[in-house]
Chains A and B, each alone.
Chain A
Amino acid sequence: ETGVTQSPTHLIKTRGQQVTLRCSSQSGHNTVSWYQQALGQGPQFIFQYYREEENGRGNFPPRFSGLQFPNYSSELNVNALELDDSALYLCASSLDLGPRETQYFGPGTRLLVL
């Protein structure tokens, strides 16, 4: 157990809808990163938050957005869902920023877009 939780565990949506996924980091962890993992692929970096500010973004369109809250929780919002958004969404928290910081992953939310 990493102490990182995510909700919901599974979700089914239809194309064009909006979805909000939630993550609760380990207490004291200032950094949270979100990843998308399609079947048979490695996780792809979506964006990162550090102390409630966006600190970096991968190659994902603006319809992917997020927030980090003072209570170490965060959320990923996806608007105008597309079929290709079907994937496992992972959040990972770390104590701070740095190349040697260990990222601890939550169990993920599996999203299916029909």
Chain B
Amino acid sequence: QKEVEQNSGPLSVPEGAIASLNCTYSDRGSQSFFWYRQYSGKSPELIMSIYSNGDKEDGRFTAQLNKASQYVSLLIRDSQPSDSATYLCAVPLNSGYALNFGKGTSLLVTP
């Protein structure tokens, strides 16, 4: 079973700070990586996808990928209380490309 690992948290950061969320994966052949945000009681919504080594920025969000270290991270700049949610890292399975999710990291942004 291919693994996707995340620290469950909670990760607590003050408003305005940078939140750093980390994810490791076991399948060296993985090509794509997705970050989903899930508010309590809601379904996951896509924040970022990344396919190549390096950084990808979208507004306050930056995804970072290091395939050699099998590590993908999500940075949230200028964190807001509305960013408080669970962040799920997902890697497509080899067959069919359904998603293999980590357990998620709970983020709490305090005013």
Q: Is B26 an interface residue (CB 8 A)?
A: no
Report if B68 contacts A (CB, 8 A): no
Establish whether residues A103 and B99, one from each chain, have CB atoms under 8 Å apart when the complex forms. Answer: yes
How many residues belonging to B are interface residues under a CB distance threshold of 8 Å? 28
Interface of A is mostly: loop
Assess the B104–A42 pair: CB atoms within 8 A: yes
Docked-complex contact A33 and B98, CB < 8 angstroms: yes
Q: Is the CB of A105 within 8 A of B101?
A: no
Interface segment, A11-19, A65-73, A76-84, A94-102?
Answer: A94-102
Contact with B along A39-77 (1 / 0, CB 8 A): 011111100101000011011000000000000000000
Is B109 interfacial (CB-CB < 8 Å)? no
Rounded to whole angstroms, the CA-CA distance of A103 and B98 in the bound complex is: 9
| Pair A90/B44 contact, Cβ less than 8 Å | yes
B82 at interface by CB-CB < 8 Å: no
Contact A100 B49 (CB under 8 A): yes
Residues in B neighbouring A108, C-beta threshold 8 A: 42-43
The answer, among B4, B43, B97, for a CB contact under 8 Å with A99, is B97
> Taking each of A55, A92, A100, A101, which has the highest tally of chain B beta carbons within 10 Å of its own beta carbon?
A100
Decide if A56 touches B51 in the complex (CB within 8 Å): no
Q: Are B92 and A90 in contact (CB under 8 A)?
A: no
**With A56-B96, A108-B43 in contact, do A99 and B102 touch (Cβ < 8 Å)?**
no
- On B, residues with C-beta under 8 Å from A are 1, 4, 8, 31-32, 34, 36, 42-46, 49, 51, 88, 90, 92-93, 95-104
- In addition to A56-B95, A90-B43, A108-B43, 7 A-B residue pairs with Cβ atoms within 8 Å of each other are A33-B99, A40-B8, A43-B88, A48-B98, A55-B95, A105-B36, A107-B42
Instruction: Give A residues with C-beta under 8 Å from B.
Output: 2, 33, 35, 40-45, 48, 50, 55-56, 58-59, 88, 90, 92, 97-108
Q: 25 A–B contact pairs at CB < 8 A?
A: A41-B104, A42-B4, A42-B103, A43-B44, A43-B99, A43-B101, A45-B93, A45-B98, A48-B96, A48-B98, A50-B96, A55-B96, A56-B93, A56-B98, A59-B1, A88-B43, A100-B32, A102-B46, A103-B46, A103-B98, A104-B46, A106-B43, A107-B42, A107-B43, A108-B43
